[in-house]
Structure 1
């Protein structure tokens, strides 16, 4: 069994649910934070993901980033050389969706890798009556930037783990491809 480690930057505007999704994933859905507190520093949560049909595991270091600019600027130095990225927006906020482009640029500027596994997460689908960003719009944007798209409702505990499991699989697949490429050079 092999163990890989990936630093995953989780980014997006304030109040989109980044911290809640991470906490739910870490606790396998058993801990939903009842009180909201603004993330002002970089919190790092570690979670191990078993890769199906491989016997391998990926240890994700989920770097929960502040969404407010003044706090982001204090922590951006911690973003160097990410192994994966997770952009989160609120499906009821067009602004949080349009800002994903800015977050993506910031993360990509911190890596030298030509390919960075990533996901786009539309959170708060339980607020469907207030939806401002349509699923097809988000899917198309994600695809155009090489990201997988997922919709979640942290409040309803829907799909909160899927984006992170997909990231672990993508990171594992990329690692395996690099190993095979290296072996072919020998």
Structure 2
């Protein structure tokens, strides 16, 4: 596959799903879902990657993996970059924490997910933010905070106002999402891709990117791990 290259394309672009066989790519972006167990990390990624929702999941054991191919298309100069997104789904249990943190350094962006019907999952957001900032490739990584299960209105415990205030406090974007309905799932990932591409464009030097990105190494698809899902 093509190695990562640097361009000067503007922020305005379209996202188009590449259909068909395997293709080369201009950028390979690795994203990691983070959050407590049972907040819906797997269902979020399945909704984004496959546009489906399943009501029955088992807890993720270790790490799961999905992928999607997109095109970053500039309206200004009609240039397109092919993007291969690696979506890593992590277990939220404490016993897998050391396994999860080992993935942080090569990760370009983080999707930090909590369950709006579970107060503890929201209270633990700051704990996960500390984990990310401690183990990520940079002290200021790109993070999108997602409040999942907003379709469950009658059992909601965490208000949008509280979530927005927390996101503002830490300087990150917040999205109200629902893996069940698909509400804002694609928009949240799109915002993360936007942030990553902006970071790449702004980095005249490569010291603000993970080693595998900055060295221009070939980023091949990893071996697909055994899947078991979390709701």
Name the TM-score class by shorter chain: 0.7 to 0.9
Output one character per residue of 1:137-179: Cα deviation in whole Å (capped at 9) or x when no partner: 1112112212111011111221221111111111001100113
* SS of match in other structure, 2:203: helix
Q: Is residue 172 of structure 1 aligned with residue 197 of structure 2?
A: yes
CA distance in 2, matches of 1:58, 1:115: 22
Shift of 1:105: 1.1
* SS of match in other structure, 1:107: helix
Q: Is residue 9 of structure 1 aligned with residue 28 of structure 2?
A: no
Give the equivalent residue in structure 1 for 2:58.
37
TM-score normalised per structure 2 = 0.71
Larger Rg: 2
Give the equivalent residue in structure 1 for 2:115.
90
* Aligned CA distance change for structure 1 residues 155 and 112 (closer, same or farther; 3 Å): closer
Task: Report which stretch shifted further, 111-120 or 84-93.
Answer: 111-120
Pairwise CA RMSD:
2.1
Q: 1:117 aligns with which of 121, 138, 142?
A: 142
* SS of match in other structure, 1:64: strand
CA distance in 1, matches of 2:31, 2:137: 15
CA contact under 8 A between 2:107 and 2:137: conserved in structure 1?
Answer: no
Which consecutive residues of structure 2, in runs of 5 or more, have no partner in the other structure?
Answer: 1-6, 8-24, 208-231
Q: 1:131 aligns with which of 130, 148, 156?
A: 156
CA distance in 2, matches of 1:121, 1:111: 19
* SS of match in other structure, 2:135: coil
Higher relative contact order (CA 8 A, sep 6+): 2
Shift of 1:92: 1.0
CA contact under 8 A between 1:87 and 1:121: conserved in structure 2?
Answer: yes
- Structure with greater helix percent: 1
Give the equivalent residue in structure 2 for 1:62.
87
Q: Counterparts in 2 of 1:145-156, with a 5 A limit?
A: 145-156=170-181
* SS of match in other structure, 2:80: coil
CA contact under 8 A between 1:84 and 1:167: conserved in structure 2?
Answer: yes
Give the equivalent residue in structure 2 for 1:20.
43
Which consecutive residues of structure 1, in runs of 5 or more, have no partner in the other structure?
Answer: none
* Aligned CA distance change for structure 1 residues 45 and 181 (closer, same or farther; 3 Å): closer
TM-score normalised per structure 1 = 0.87
* SS of match in other structure, 1:121: strand
Q: 2:131 aligns with which of 90, 106, 111?
A: 106
Shift of 1:113: 1.7
